[in-house]
Chains A and B, each alone.
Chain A
């Protein structure tokens, strides 16, 4: 009897501790002053990449180095990112620190993929996301809703839960989303530190979100 009970109690205790940690990590929003910070951007694919590059264009060079994560089946995002970074370096040659890196992980969901297999592929990319996040240890994760961003954000949370590093997660919902959140949005509104929407209709539905007007 005891030999059954001990593992169950132990597992329960671990679960309680993890949930507590998750709660603490999600709650803590204290601002540490800093001069620069490393940024991890989940660029995903297609329109998501275009949108997020528009946002990045407005950020100062204090956001450095920049790490980009793209889906491994995505050919065009890498080109877009490279030309964005080249353009940036041209415009502001004074910033010596224009380091950027592109990482690839498997897509967690292809367009039109079924729900059940989405769960499996998401688990697979989560398995690969954690080593990446652990290696990069970014200060800030910025994403705008390609499926790939869910495993990345969960991995970033895990860093906090394990007490390795508190990563700030900022989610910007795509301009496409006027009335309802995307699937990634519905998950990450609970897990992100700041959740930004671009239409007032969403702000009304989700008071936790931040509305800054149209930013792309």
Chain B
């Protein structure tokens, strides 16, 4: 499927549960690893990121302006990943779906860019309330 959509390769982080071998053909490379310290290098290179709605993955990918598809992990406490996913979907920052069909139907150009957060507002607030002098 990925190949028919014009993707040239797939990098998978699979955790420690499955066994899968990396392989490659002329037009498609499949790279597999169990766990990595940082996926930044891979996501930067990628044309599309598919992930759970963990805050870290979402922020990292969106912050870099990469199109993101998230698949919700429903088993977590009260399905809380769905909150962030729905909100970002409402703001048209990402596609949110459980259907593989999405990969075929989506139009990546409709997505809006995700502006960076403003931690400096936090530091200004904190310095004020703890009485830190400039």
B54, B60, B125, B132: the one within 8 Å of A34 (CB): B132
B contact residues around A47 at 8 Å (CB): 54-57
Closest-CB distance, B127 to chain A (whole angstroms): 7
Are A31 and B129 closer than 8 Å at their CB atoms? yes
Closest to B57 in A: A47
Are A216 and B130 closer than 8 Å at their CB atoms? no
- By size class, the interface of chain A is 35 or more
Tell me whether B131 is interfacial, beta carbon within 8 Å: yes
What is the predominant secondary structure among interface residues of chain B facing chain A? Answer: helix
Beyond A46-B54, A50-B59, A174-B55, whether A55 also contacts B119 by CB under 8 A is yes
Tell me whether B98 is interfacial, beta carbon within 8 Å: no
Beyond A47-B55, A112-B75, whether A182 also contacts B119 by CB under 8 A is no
Tell me whether A42 is interfacial, beta carbon within 8 Å: no
A31, A80, A177, A212: the one within 8 Å of B121 (CB): A212
* A-binding segment of B4-12, B17-25, B80-88, B103-111: B80-88
Are A112 and B54 closer than 8 Å at their CB atoms? no
B contact residues around A35 at 8 Å (CB): 132-133
Are B127 and A34 closer than 8 Å at their CB atoms? no
A contact residues around B122 at 8 Å (CB): 55, 58, 172, 196, 212, 215
Query: B residues engaging A (CB < 8 A)?
Result: 37, 53-57, 59-60, 75-78, 80-81, 83-84, 86-87, 117-123, 125-127, 129-133
